Structure formats: structure tokens, C-alpha cells
Amino acid sequence: MDAAPGAPCGHFDGREHALAVRVYYEDTDFTGVVYHANYLRYFERGRSDFLRLAGIDHTALLGRPDPCAFAITRMTVEFLKPARIDDTLTVFTAYDRFRGARLLISQRIGRGPETIASADVEAVCIAPSGRPRRPPRDLVERLAPRLLVPSAP
């Protein structure tokens, strides 16, 4: 379940994960500014690579005897400044706490020292049927050292 050697999945700085993202032409509108929906893609990459670097693999979650996945149920995004073609951005992700089946996540996108977008995210652990379920104990234990508010499964 660990990332492949050399895989571009960022790094941890304390409990926060940092992932470098380059803005490509395909990410922008005709003015060279990142199209708003692409920030959601950057945030998704940050959340996925956080889990990957923490040793949690989406494919392995579905292959468990008690399979599960995550679905986003709420996301509030604040766009502060535009990102532009060729910018190098950093997606910062912090998994804050579990609350039952819900997982609360804080994210921001930086360009150098400035934050250009931020998001508060609520994900829910689900069974393959789509019904919410508590996350498996070993998943909670793997994330516990990085949670803002540790919780019991």
C-alpha cells in the first residue's frame, strides 16, 4: 500500500501534506488563468496523495474483506487569487478528524508564500453500496498520528 519509489506523491511537514502541482495550458481558460473547476482537481490530488503517502491505497480499500471508499459530501472553496499558466503551486492538505463516518479535511493552494485558494472538505467513508459506514479501525489508526483531533474508531 506504500507509494512506489520515486512516485510524485509529495511529502509531510508535520501533520500537513504538501504536493507540488504545475499549471499546464490545459488547466487554463483563453486568458491563461486556471479554470475554477481545476482547483477541485488539485485539491483531489492533494487528498489522494496524502492518503497514498500515509500508506492508504484507494484500490486496496476496495479490495479489503470489508471494502470501503470515500465520497465528498461537502466542499467550501474560497478563491483568493488567480493561478496562471506555468505557475508552480503547492497543495497543502491536513486531515483534521473523524466524526463517525465523516472525515473533515482542510486544504489550501499556495503560490510561493501566498495562499491563492482554500477549501474545507467533508468526506464520508462508504461501503460499495454507497451507504455511509464507519472507517475500518486500521485506517483510523494509520491516520491517527496526522489528525488534528485523534478519535477512536
Catalytic residues, by residue number, are 29
CB atoms within 10 A of CB 34: 24
Give Cα 96 to chain centroid, integer Å.
11
SS3 67: coil
Cell 491505497 belongs to: 57
Contact 92, 107 (CB under 8 A): yes
CB 125 within 8 A of CB 132: yes
> Which of 136, 143, 140, 142 shows the shortest CA–CA distance to 61?
136
